[in-house]
Homo-oligomer: A and B are copies of this chain.
Amino acid sequence: MKNIKVSGRLLEVPASPIRKLVPYATAAKKRGIKVYHLNIGDPDIKTPEVMIDVLKNWKDNPIAYGQSQGQPKFLESLVGYYKKLGYSFVESKNIQVTTGGSEAISMALFAVCAPGEEVITFEPYYANYNSYSKINGVKIVPVLTKGETGFHLPDRKVIEKKIGKKTKAILICNPSNPTGTVYTKEEMEMLVSICVKNNLFLISDEVYREFVYDGKKYFSILEYMKKYPDKMILLDSLSKRYSLCGARLGMIVSLNKDLTDGVLRMAQGRLSSGYVDQAMAEKLTEVDDSYFKAVHREYQTRRDLLYKGLKSIPGVYLEKPEGAFYTIVKLPVKDSEDFCQWLLEKFSYKNGTVMVAPAAGFYGTPGMGKNEVRIAYVLNVQDLEKAIEIIAHALVEYNRK
């Protein structure tokens, strides 16, 4: 009897560099070691109480399907949110609720590309773009950005050189996961201009919109959406903004009707996003501004601490991240994946160790990022200080091997 094989494309879906070392972390915890999780953007910040109260006061039964586009009240809340940001042109009909920002990215790639077509993005980029592109038969074409320039964009020519017949879109994450870069007005206008000139979609993943530090000004794709309604696609999510990672809710916002009609048909296939999650999320209009201010202050403090702490470790290189809560850090190691695994398997300091994500999985070009890691500063200041101390000691011991 012959054994049947799964498809080649399944075998090619990459493991998440953020999650593939989880078994080593689990084993370390079993040995009684405290693992400081800097590998994943899963914040310790509290979800707003007004959302948790929805659960505590739950009345509905049964837990029924929602609308495929999103629950009407949740859509209304989102319209209110974008209006408050100054984009009152966004209507309910321009929004498709997705099951996490993940589904928004995946649907957008499917929507803009035929199989084999290409999307340009800037490496290092959010690692899961590799899974979504593989799953949707889309080719990611990376344009390199460098730590030395804070991972800001290269010259227009460098980007345009990558545009070919199969290119359908440029995809950015702004503020950037994994680099913490916040694109300037000039950069945004350059990207818009490239997309207009070359007839491409501009897809902007803005799930960290509120996480911009040092009073830097932020330019959303929404600034350009009315002028270029066919080309601009916003991807968004509540996960980080309201510390709602486990409530799988994101959204696609676009004025391109073929696009929103199409993703609604895709959404009908999977029926609806979570009913309870949306009931919680519709309270977003009731979240007080003081919540965001406190969260913002907390992250800026963490960022400052992390930057100062890491910079003081010999051989470690990073630029000060401008937004989000990640940074790509160069370490004095040859193979950061080996180092990350060693941290979990072999090392501990004061009975603790650190889990960070090897950066190679955030690059599209093979061989890049080998001596880098992505760090998510999602822990409180005390834990972050301990984690930095552990990294400092670990590098000394690792390099003595």
Chain A interface (Cβ < 8 Å from any Cβ of B): 1-11, 13-16, 18-20, 22, 40, 42-47, 49, 51-52, 55-58, 61-68, 99-100, 102-103, 106, 110-115, 117, 128, 131-132, 135, 137, 168, 196, 199-201, 230-231, 243-248, 256, 258-259, 262-263, 265-266, 268-277, 280
Contacts and interface: CB of A to CB of B under 8 A. Distances in A.
Contact of A276 (B1, B265, B276): B276
Contacts of A266: 10, 13, 131, 135
Contacts of A62: 43-47, 243-246
Contacts of A137: 115, 137
A18 to B, nearest CB: 8
SS of A interface (majority): loop
Contact of A55 (B58, B66, B248): B58
Contacts of A1: 196
A135 B115 contact: no
A135 B55 contact: no
A376 to B, nearest CB: 12
8 contacts: A4-B168, A6-B259, A10-B258, A13-B265, A56-B56, A99-B270, A128-B268, A137-B137
A87 to B, nearest CB: 21
Chain B CB within 10 Å — which of A18, A19, A111 has the most?
A19
A44 B65 CA distance: 11
A63 B243 contact: yes
A88 B103 CA distance: 34
Given A4-B199, A65-B40, A131-B265, A246 B276 contact: yes
A90 B8 CA distance: 26
Contact of A63 (B244, B268, B270): B244
A110 B135 CA distance: 8
Contacts of A269: 13, 16, 102, 106, 128, 131-132, 135
Nearest to A111: B10
Given A19-B268, A269-B128, A275-B247, A9 B61 contact: no
Contacts of A243: 62-63
A112 B7 contact: yes
Given A245-B63, A276-B246, A100 B271 contact: yes
A55 B279 CA distance: 12
Contact of A7 (B40, B103, B111, B273): B111
A63 B262 CA distance: 31
Given A4-B200, A8-B114, A265-B14, A102 B271 contact: yes
